[in-house]
Chain A
Amino acid sequence: MSNPLHVAFMERDSLDTHEDLAWLIADISISFMDMNHNGIDAKIGAVLGVISDAVGVDWCGVFQFSRDGRHVYKSHASDGARIRMPSEMRDTEAHWFSEKLRYLCREEIPRGGTLSPDNVHERRFMETLGFASGFIVPLKASEVPLGFLCCGDEQRADGSLSEIEETFLGIVAKMIANVLEHRRASDSLASSEEKMQRLIERLGEDYFFYRHDTKGIFTYVSDSVRNVLGYEPEEFLGHFSKYLTDSPVNAKAKQSTWLSIKGIRQAPYEVEVIRKDGKIVTLEVQEISVEYEEGKVITVEGIAHDITERKKYEVLIRRQKEELERMVKERTAKLNRMNEALVLKINQYEEAKKKIDLLVGELEVILDSVPAAIFYKDLHHRFIRVNASFAKFFGRPKEFYKGKTYFDLGFGQYSAEEFTREDTWIMETGKAKRQTVSKVVVNNVPKWLVIDKIPYRDEKGDIIGIIGFALDISDFKNAEELIFSLNKKLTEAEEIERLRISRYLHDTVAQNLSSALIDCNILLDEYGEKFPGIVPKFSELSRILRRSVEQIRHLSYDLRPPHFEKMGISNAIYSFCQEFRGKYPIDVDFLSAGIEDIDLDFNLQVNLYRIVQEALNNVQRHAEAERVKIRLVASHPDIILRIEDDGKGFQVPVSFEEFLSRKCMGLQGMKERVRLYRGDLRIQSRPGGGTKIFVRIPVDSRGSRDTR
């Protein structure tokens, strides 16, 4: 690159001013700095010639230091100079010379320091060069010694050169600074260019690179502008505003551009540009101000790329984003509404909960005031809650029972197991178990309970346990028991009385009559022939006696079958049936099954016997039956008695009063007997359709010797 100063200088014919002179010197200095001597020796020679002419001295030369300032590297002199150059000097001379130069450089030549007598060194130096007078101008750039400019005259030994020297010294330093400054600007521009060049190489074709000067005129644009805007690079070298649309976007763009020119760095900005084909495209530009010094912009470089497509997408994306935002907003609003509704619901719930709590409280009061023991149990047979009656019944505070099971209630293992089994069944089947009468021993006191148990369900209907109601009916039961036992005792007493009468009739009355009968017959035998008159009377007496014995026996047997205890119920009934068959034209078919293995209460046996007796008597008296079927069968936990005839049947009374009024006392008596043993008796009959009597009597497990 050519130095513009040189150019400027070369173009001029002469140097008129000291200033011009100084520029020349500065230029030389710069050349020194560059250490670039190629092709400049001649130029320097010319310059020095001009200087020597201008100053009016015989000789002008420059000495250049090597970079470290130690050696005189080279020297030049104006044309026709006659001085000895260091290369021509003797070694010692050359050494001194360079030392001197260095000294001078170091010592700073005083202003106006011509080769005056008081500057021994300077004078000596000039003398060495062969001059009578002269001056030395150190060439420095930023305090770094570059070399010397010397002007010398063989004749002039006055101070006429002082003025020139002074001017030189003043201007040269300034000029050198200016030149250096300019030089640095060029350098940074060059390096920036270089960097940019590299950058451009890497950029895609969607980008182009440009440079515009501080007026906004493009000074450079990369080839890729062709791709981006359709312009040839040469076509794009106008003022930037020429290519912009008048869109308001560009107002801002312009401003940014101007700010860039002022050295204020701008963020990437958009600009709307008219392509060569007229289409409008949006470019994004990033500009960098190139400064050679802080705040001093020499040019602005920028990079632009087409973001039209991107803009489109951006618009699209923005719309989508807006849509999304709208949706989010809507959704939020909806959520808010829902939230409000929820809050309302929660409030309602809270209110309902308060009411429920109140109800629960009331329920608690109700539960605690009912006489029934009420309990809630979970799936694991644990009590969840019990009421006051429950606690009172089992003798501990309510809280005690929480988490407890039947096994903690103080009744026997057996009962606890039985109840637990029942609960399991209820929870498995979901069926209630109603009105179960159970006898339990609570803390050694026998109690009667009527228990209702139902599955405990949650709101979904799933079974979560058991709810139970137990009513203590011990008092009723005890009263009932008392009535039962009194009734039993009554019938037992009746039986005992019957037995007593029966025995008396059988063993005493009938015996005596039998004895009388024998005597009567003996008398008849012994005296009948002698006194024939008595025969009819005695025969009659004998017949009466005999009939009486039979009647008394039957009466006795009716009152009580003899040796019933030994025969057992089946034999007693069988025996009775056999006699019945013998006496009446009615076929009796009796069958018993499983009865002999049960250790039946004796009084129960008697009562069963009495029922059969009563039933057969009824059949014989009223039914006009041909056949009677009797069945006595053990069917755990009951025994069953059936008496069925094929007789004419009757209208079964429906009430006790009807039994009384129709004189069906026999049937009523049978019912009473069955009731004593908590059994039931059913009569099924209709006129013309026979009669069926069904008796079921529960057999207490203790009453059985069958423990299998």
Chain B
Amino acid sequence: MDDHPLFRLGLRSILARDEAYEIVGEAGTAAEAMKLARRYFPGFMIVDISLPDKNGIELTREVLRLLPDCKILIVSMHTKIFYVTEALRMGAMGYLIKESTSETLLKGLDAISKGRHFLDPSLSREVKENLEDTSGAPKMIDIAYKRLTKREQEVMRLVAEGFTTKEISERLFISIKTVDNHRANIMNKLGIHRTVELIRYAARIGLIDLDT
């Protein structure tokens, strides 16, 4: 699947060299691709991400819903990790970048035909590392902090900046008791027990700059 006829022509030439693969059809849009898929039940599909009507990652998901055994290889201009991970998450078996197609296309098809995942060797090290990291949620987002309400965020910054409870109550036009309640809730949500820890936490996530 590629909306560039010239590029498809290139792919044809490469595939023509290996007798293991027969081209049953080619399409310029996702809709056409689905039509062909329903007609020919292909064993392999080579899909570009940038398509006029739909992106290749979505197409991958739809095709796999129809043909769960179809092996899909993404061939895209994109090198961003986001696309790679999304494609693989949706069930694509391999991911190639276009400029390396002539060298790696057949290698990739061989790998996925044997049921192995294949990634373009020129994809950056980080993309691979990230893919190999199976812990799921990216570590760059602080999970606990997002549980704070807006008011609690305000109070936390003021506490971290060294304001007293009284000063905070004056600044926010709320009672001292309310400030104390907020403090307790913040500590509770962040799983900490002392103001020192709260300040350390604030410094770690960048609310305050400890070094200045």
Contacts and interface: CB of A to CB of B under 8 A. Distances in A.
Given A512-B4, A518-B13, A592-B141, 11 more contacts: A525-B17, A562-B78, A563-B82, A578-B127, A578-B130, A579-B126, A596-B146, A635-B157, A636-B154, A692-B212, A694-B209
B90 interface: no
B196 interface: no
A194 interface: no
Of the candidates B4, B103, B150, B154, the one having the most CB atoms from chain A within 10 angstroms of its own CB is B150
Interface string A165-178: 00000000000000
A545 B99 contact: yes
A506 B50 CA distance: 10
Given A546-B99, A571-B82, A593-B145, A512 B6 contact: yes
Contacts of B98: 510-511, 514, 517, 549
Contact of A506 (B4, B11, B77, B156): B77
A561 interface: yes
Contacts of A633: 142, 145, 205-207
Contacts of B100: 546
Interface in A30-74: none
A704 B149 CA distance: 12
Nearest to A507: B50
Contact of B82 (A507, A549, A575, A684): A575
B207 A579 contact: no
A612 B6 CA distance: 38
B170 interface: yes
Interface stretch (A213-221, A276-284, A335-343, A421-429): A421-429
Interface string A386-414: 00000000000000000000000000000
B36 interface: no
Contacts of B103: 521
A506 B102 CA distance: 19
B125 interface: yes
A550 interface: yes
Given A512-B6, A633-B205, A575 B81 contact: yes
Contacts of B130: 578
A640 to B, nearest CB: 6
Interface of A: 421-422, 425, 429, 431, 506-507, 510-519, 521-522, 525, 545-546, 549-550, 553, 557, 561-563, 567, 570-571, 574-575, 578-579, 581-582, 590-597, 629, 631-637, 640-642, 644, 684, 692, 694, 704, 706, 708
Interface in B28-53: 50
B7 A518 contact: yes
B126 A515 contact: no
B151 interface: yes
A485 B5 CA distance: 43
Contacts of B206: 591, 593, 629, 631-633, 640-642
Given A636-B153, A704-B150, A594 B126 contact: no
Contacts of A631: 205-206
A425 B145 contact: no
B207 A635 contact: yes
B82 A567 contact: yes
Given A637-B154, A708-B149, A521 B102 contact: yes
B80 interface: yes
Contacts of B127: 578
Interface residues of B, number: 51
Contact of A511 (B4, B124, B148, B157): B4
A672 B39 CA distance: 56
Given A549-B99, A582-B126, A522 B77 contact: no
Contacts of A632: 206
B10 interface: yes
B140 interface: yes
Contacts of A593: 141-142, 145-146, 205-206
A582 B123 CA distance: 11
Given A575-B82, A590-B140, A519 B10 contact: yes
A640 B207 contact: yes
B102 A425 contact: no
Given A594-B146, A640-B206, A706-B150, A514 B82 contact: no
B106 to A, nearest CB: 12
Contacts of B7: 511, 514-515, 518
Nearest to A589: B140
Contacts of B80: 557, 561-563, 575
A581 to B, nearest CB: 6
Contacts of A634: 153
Given A514-B101, A522-B10, A582 B124 contact: yes
A522 B150 contact: no
Interface in B114-143: 124-127, 130, 138, 140-142
Nearest to B50: A507
A425 to B, nearest CB: 6
A581 B125 CA distance: 10
A635 B154 contact: yes
Contact of A553 (B79, B125, B148, B207): B79
Contacts of B17: 525
Contacts of B184: none
Contact of A594 (B102, B140, B148): B148
B140 A635 contact: no
Contacts of A562: 78, 80, 83
Interface string B175-212: 00000000000000000000000000000111101011
A516 B98 CA distance: 11
Given A575-B81, A578-B130, A582-B124, A636 B99 contact: no
30 contacts: A425-B170, A506-B77, A507-B77, A512-B6, A513-B99, A514-B10, A514-B99, A514-B101, A516-B6, A517-B99, A522-B13, A546-B100, A553-B79, A562-B80, A562-B83, A563-B80, A574-B138, A579-B126, A592-B140, A592-B142, A593-B205, A594-B148, A594-B153, A595-B141, A596-B141, A629-B206, A635-B153, A637-B150, A642-B209, A692-B209
Nearest to B148: A594
B176 to A, nearest CB: 12
Contacts of A692: 209, 211-212
Contacts of A525: 17
A574 B140 contact: yes
B9 interface: yes
B67 interface: no
Contacts of B207: 633, 635, 640
